[in-house]
Every structure is written in structure tokens, then in C-alpha cells.
Amino acid sequence: MTAAPAVPETETDAELIRRSHADPEAFAALFDRYAPMLYRYVSRRLGPEQAEDIVGDTFLAAFGRRARYDLERPDARPWLFGIVTKLVARHHRDEAARYRALRRSPAEHAVPFPDDAVDDAVAAAGVRPVLAGALAALPRRDRDVLLLVAWADLSYAETAAALGIPVGTVRSRLNRARRKIRAALGDTDPMREEA
């Protein structure tokens, strides 16, 4: 088996996609760049059992749609997160069940994700069950926006591109979701450290 040619780090996602039309193997570099990020995101939403399959399906769909990718966009992350979010939506019952299970599980058994200050702070504050319940209670559209910003670390513009909605809609959904989460947490901010 021959090794795939090395991809220069400076090659943009759009350049990789463009190159993949003549050399389909070039698309593998996108997988290498973004599969771990997408896996963490899906794993948080649905659990690790389904994450691998959904990430694989995301790249399969992206590969099939690459001819329609807007090559003026150098960063494919919003596009990929848009695809994965649609695939996660098909598993909304599984996601709701996961949040219900998290809500019932005691906080002391929480295993924080490596290098994830948000999950560490939430688990340390003992609000994980309440937060899981609040996430489960959010409308899917608001939850998608909140989690793309919070867990996928997308900007408002990237979130808008991922979901195919205006930036103003991202702002209003995010504001509504944050307000509901804060209310569920007793109007406290789990990220604020106590003095």
C-alpha cells in the first residue's frame, strides 16, 4: 500500500476540495483535519456509540456534494458542521434520551472531556443534570446554534453558514438559548468562578 502524498499545511480546504475533483484522495486531508473535531462534537450530543458512524456519514455526504462546494470559502468547517448537524437531527430521539440519562446520572460520576474547561466547570459546579435537562428542553434549532457556538467553537457567521440561516437569526436563537439555560441554572453562570 502506498502512502498518500503529504498535504501542505498551507493548502486551504477549498484548494483541497478543488484538487479532489481530479484526485479524489486529496479529500482525505479534510477528514484528517476535521474528523476528530466532528467526532468530539457528535460524541457530546449523541454519545461515542453513534459518533463514529455519523462522522463517517458526514464525510461520505461531503465527498458526494463536493462539486457544489463554494470554492470562495477557504474554510470548510461550517459546511461540514452543517452536514453533521443535519445528520444529528435525524437522531433527535437519541439526543433527547442522552440528555435525560445525563440529567439522572449523579454529578460525581461525570467524566470530563480532556482539555475541556466548560465540561470541567459544569461538572465541578454539580449542575450537570440540570444543564442536561435544560439542553433537552431547548427547541432543536436553538440547541443546534448554542452547541455549534459552545462545543464546535464556530463564530456566529460560521454557525449561520453551517445552518443556512442569517447571522441575526443565530444571534436571536443563541440569546434565547442562553437565557433559558441561565434560568434553568438559577440565573447563575457555571463558567463564572466564585471569588
pLDDT digits (tens, 9 = 90+) for 39-56: 999 998 888 888 999 999
Asked if residue 84 lies in contact with residue 50, where contact means CB atoms within 8 angstroms, the answer is no
| Domain limits, the chain | 12-90
Of the candidates 95, 80, 78, 92, the residue with the CA atom closest to the CA atom of residue 39: 80
Q: What is the C-alpha to C-alpha distance for residues 151 and 160, in angstroms, rounded to an integer? A: 15
CB hemisphere CA count around 64 (13 angstroms): 7
CATH architecture label of 12-90: Orthogonal Bundle (1.10)
Q: What is the pLDDT of residue 148?
A: 95
**Is the Cα torsion angle 100, 54, 73, 5 positive or negative in sign?**
positive
Tell me what the pLDDT averaged over the chain comes to.
82
How confident is the model over 97-150, as pLDDT tens digits? 767 776 666 544 444 444 455 455 444 445 567 778 888 889 999 999 999 999
Q: Strands (DSSP E) along 15-90, which ranges?
A: none
- Average pLDDT, stretch 5-28? 86
Indicate whether 36 pLDDT > 80.
Answer: yes
Burial of residue 158 (CB within 10 Å: 0-12, 13-18, 19+) is buried
Closest to 63 measured CA to CA, from 16, 2, 8: 16
Q: Which residue has the higher pLDDT, 55 or 187?
A: 55
Dihedral sign from CA coordinates of 166, 168, 174, 180: negative
- Collapsed DSSP state (helix, strand, coil) of residue 110: coil
Model confidence pTM above 0.85: no
Residue carrying the nine cell digits 449561520: 160
Q: What share of the chain is helix, strand, coil (3-state, %, to 5)?
A: 70, 0, 30
Nearest residue to 185 via CA among 126, 106, 124: 126
Rounded Cα gap, residues 34 and 50, in angstroms: 17
